[in-house]
Chain A
Amino acid sequence: MYSQFLDHLTGGQGYLISSLGIFFVFFIVVTVLLLRLKKTHVNYMSDMPLEDDNTSNPFKPLQS
């Protein structure tokens, strides 16, 4: 079935199919990356903006 479909691709349709393939592979790679992340690292990274905390509360002056 697939070979028949691929045999009948014309013109730019090859680009469309290859785009789909690249897209699919790309997302599998990113998903694998995400699954391999460690919880401690994720927490460390997501706390980063809050580290210089003297500026965290809106409208409060800076501590010198």
Chain B
Amino acid sequence: MQPEKFYYDNKIVRNFGIATIIWGIVGMTVGLLIAIQLYHPAANMDSQYTTFGRIRPLHTNAVIFAFVGNCIFMGVYYSLQRLLKARMFSDVLSNIHFWGWQLIIVLAAITLPLGYTSSHEYAELEWPIDILITVIWVIFGVNMFGTIIKRRERHLYVAIWFYIATFVTIAVLHIVNSIEIPVSLTKSYMVYAGVQDALVQWWYGHNAVAFFLTTPYLGMMYYFLPKMANRPIYSYKLSILHFWALIFIYIWAGPHHLLYSTLPGWAQSLGVAFSIMLIAPSWGGMINGLLTLRGAWDKVRDDVILKFMVVGLTAYGMATFEGPMLSLKQVNGFAHFTDWIIAHVHVGAMGWNGFLTFAILYWIIPRIYKTELFSKKLASIHFWIGTLGILFYVIPIYWAGFTQSLMLKEFTPEGLLKYPNFLETTLRILPMYVMRSIGGTLYLGGVILMAYNLFKTMAQGSLVANEAAQAMPLEPFIKPEHEHSWHRVLERKPIQFMILALLVILIGSFIELMPTLTIKSNIPTIASVKPYTPLELQGRDLYIREGCLACHSQTVRPFRSETERYGEYSKAGEFVYDHPFLWGSKRIGPDLAREGGKYPNAWHYNHLMDPRLMSPGSIMPNYDWFLTQKLDTSLTAKKISVMRTIGVPYPAGYEKIANRDLDIQAKGIADDLAKNHIKVSSDKEVIAIIAYLQRLGTDIKADKSASNNQ
């Protein structure tokens, strides 16, 4: 049999590489902008389109799906072809995948600042873009499996298992978390409500970290680290255990994002138990990576790429130890909603994802351009300012988290909150926020240096768009008389492998999600909780549009420090009409679950116009556009109808008179403001947002005798 000659497609690898660099700079620049807004709110340039709540999702989406996403595709397209000894299945699909993914990113960059958002964290994009993501993801999958099927290597290396698990799991997560009913092209409502929506969202959110930020990067580690160190992976057996244990356990751990919330207790405990178990496979992977360098540590001293890998793997080890610790209820009670979590995710994002991305870019670009890196010295400077940038970022922000949580929980000897004003704790940590933005600037500076270095490298070389290779074709497989290992069988059967991986992730998903989604008694209803009025519903949509939940939570945990500060702790039954839930995950400002009735309408009006009028020193931006923009009521009827189809009990035909009720309630608020010498017409957005804020948490106060139906 003659060896077959074929060509690896390096052009698609290069394209994804360039996209990684460009979107990395964009995403991190937006991150820096919102970091500065936290101590200098005017850095929003007085524009609603560049205000924290709207562009915080732009930052997270850009770094996760644009920077990391493009790097994943670069690494997968490079390594998959070589591990399978085959060109990608279809150049057309590769190009549709590339340009489709960039289109999604551009649409995100346009729609998020415009306030078109589903409000689900890391899944904010509205339904038409969700559909586009699904199509492009399927194209990626077809291209990957097409390549696997026409391969010239019978057995699939461990990196490819991670890619397969990434593909199937992200598909499942994305679809389940995007089931929403459209109201218009740019607006939809989640079918799930309240605690159910929260559970689905954090099952998704946690596993997006697992299967987008972790498994594809582990796959790339298993391919690129042996090549960079020029030695095989430390233990192939450990990699098998690592793979199956990781994908099996990760999927259960989502509820640790909802500890002390109204999620059923058993689901919280399940999330905690599996989070603790996660240390084992995570550290197994890290150790497997670091021990691959055994006997090669002298190389680490000279080779900047290995330096990036070692720091990246160490950051992975730190983040995956810290994660399980944060899921212990006592630690979580202290850390959740604070900057500790922001520090934790940035150790992972900047250290693990960022540094592995840089290492792989520095490794691939000179090779596909048939040249050497333009400047090793610049790469070395990048490594050091990147490392310092991470430290300058995370240390102040850890400190900020500890400080603020301690202050919020401190009582005087008389039993009163020592810092009853939330703002007092915010002002204390502003210097740490300034330090954090210096760290972010350093890190971004390093990335810009890398971009210069790599573009110079590209300029001095020439792209080998089609790299020649040859390999023997696969001979018909003759089954050995005694097959000794099931896993060996599995490694040459990709479709069965995918189905098995799918089953493994579905087991945990079903046990975790189904009871809360299907058993009614898990969410006790409260008789006095009623659907939102049309005006409140419109106000709620403004709250979603502005991304208020980026800074304000809406769930009071059962701690004395919270019930004293905010009021009665939250009950599951209070959220049954919340499509989507708006609990938030970070308190840059105070919780708003019991905001209704705390302040007069005039206070809210003035506070939204300029928060510093009512709370001197506040870091909340001015929402003066609420005062001038007219509320769009053209969709009220449609919104009511859609809400009814997903279970909100508006009476039949109510949509026809909804705008009449909306006007009556709006006039009432405008009249009340007029009594306080504030002249504003009742058709402005500010009226709707005030109506919503005044409703928050008031239902259970309305009828004290209303009790659980259990």
Contact = CB atoms under 8 A, between A and B. Distances in A.
Nearest to B304: A58
B460 to A, nearest CB: 11
A7 interface: no
Contacts of B373: 59
Interface in A17-64: 18-19, 22-23, 26-27, 30-31, 33-34, 36-38, 41-52, 55-62, 64
A5 to B, nearest CB: 16
A16 B237 contact: no
A30 B245 contact: yes
B228 interface: yes
B13 to A, nearest CB: 12
A15 B515 contact: yes
A56 B82 CA distance: 13
A42 B303 contact: no
A45 B464 contact: no
How many B residues touch the partner, as a band?
35 or more
B62 interface: no
Nearest to B516: A12
Contacts of A15: 266-267, 270, 511, 515
B245 A33 contact: no
A34 B270 contact: no
B511 A34 contact: no
B600 interface: no
A12 B241 contact: no
Contacts of B515: 12, 15
A34 B240 contact: yes
A36 B245 contact: no
B526 interface: no
A45 B248 CA distance: 23
A58 B511 CA distance: 46
B222 interface: yes
Contacts of A62: 367, 370, 464, 467
Contact of A49 (B157, B367, B370, B467): B157
Contact of A48 (B83, B484, B485): B83
B487 interface: yes
How many A residues touch the partner, as a band?
35 or more
Contact of B469 (A31, A34, A52, A57): A52
A33 B240 contact: yes
SS class of chain B's interface: helix, strand, loop or mixed?
A: helix
A51 B363 CA distance: 17
Given A23-B277, A64-B370, A18 B511 contact: yes
A64 to B, nearest CB: 7
B226 A26 contact: no
B159 A49 contact: yes
B376 A59 contact: yes
A37 B488 contact: yes
A61 B366 contact: yes
B499 interface: no
Contacts of A47: 232
Contacts of A48: 83, 153, 155, 157
B372 interface: yes
A41 B270 contact: no
Contacts of A55: 227, 367
B122 interface: no
Contacts of B491: 45
B685 to A, nearest CB: 43
A46 B233 CA distance: 6
A23 B224 CA distance: 31
A14 to B, nearest CB: 9
B710 to A, nearest CB: 12
A31 B197 CA distance: 37
B273 A50 contact: no
B269 A49 contact: no
B497 to A, nearest CB: 13
- Report which residue of A30, A34, A46, A58 has the largest number of chain B beta carbons within 10 angstroms of its beta carbon: A58
Contacts of B277: 23
B252 interface: yes
B486 A36 contact: yes
Contacts of A19: 252, 270, 273-274, 508, 511
A58 B307 CA distance: 12
B366 A34 contact: no
A33 B273 contact: no
A48 B469 CA distance: 15
A31 B371 CA distance: 45
A21 to B, nearest CB: 11
Contact of B266 (A16, A36, A52): A16
A25 B360 CA distance: 37
B486 A33 contact: yes
Interface string B357-394: 00000010011001111001000000000000000000
Nearest to A62: B370
Contact of B236 (A11, A23, A42): A42
B358 to A, nearest CB: 13
A52 B372 contact: no
B507 interface: yes
A13 B515 CA distance: 12
Contacts of A59: 366, 372-373, 376
Interface in B239-257: 240-241, 244-245, 248-249, 252
B158 interface: yes
B241 A22 contact: no
B223 A49 contact: yes
Contacts of A51: 82
B282 to A, nearest CB: 15
Interface string B497-537: 00000001001100100010000000000000000000000
B433 to A, nearest CB: 38
A36 B484 CA distance: 6
B230 interface: yes
A53 B232 CA distance: 12
Contacts of A13: 266
A51 B79 CA distance: 12
A30 B240 CA distance: 8
22 contacts: A12-B266, A12-B267, A13-B266, A15-B267, A19-B273, A26-B244, A30-B244, A30-B245, A33-B240, A33-B486, A34-B241, A36-B486, A37-B240, A37-B484, A38-B488, A41-B488, A42-B236, A45-B236, A50-B231, A59-B373, A62-B367, A64-B370
Given A16-B266, A48-B153, 16 more contacts: A12-B270, A15-B266, A15-B511, A19-B508, A31-B241, A36-B486, A37-B487, A41-B485, A45-B155, A45-B236, A46-B236, A48-B155, A50-B227, A59-B376, A61-B371, A61-B372
Interface of A: 11-13, 15-16, 18-19, 22-23, 26-27, 30-31, 33-34, 36-38, 41-52, 55-62, 64
Closest 7 CB pairs of A and B: A12-B266, A46-B236, A46-B232, A48-B157, A49-B226, A33-B487, A36-B485
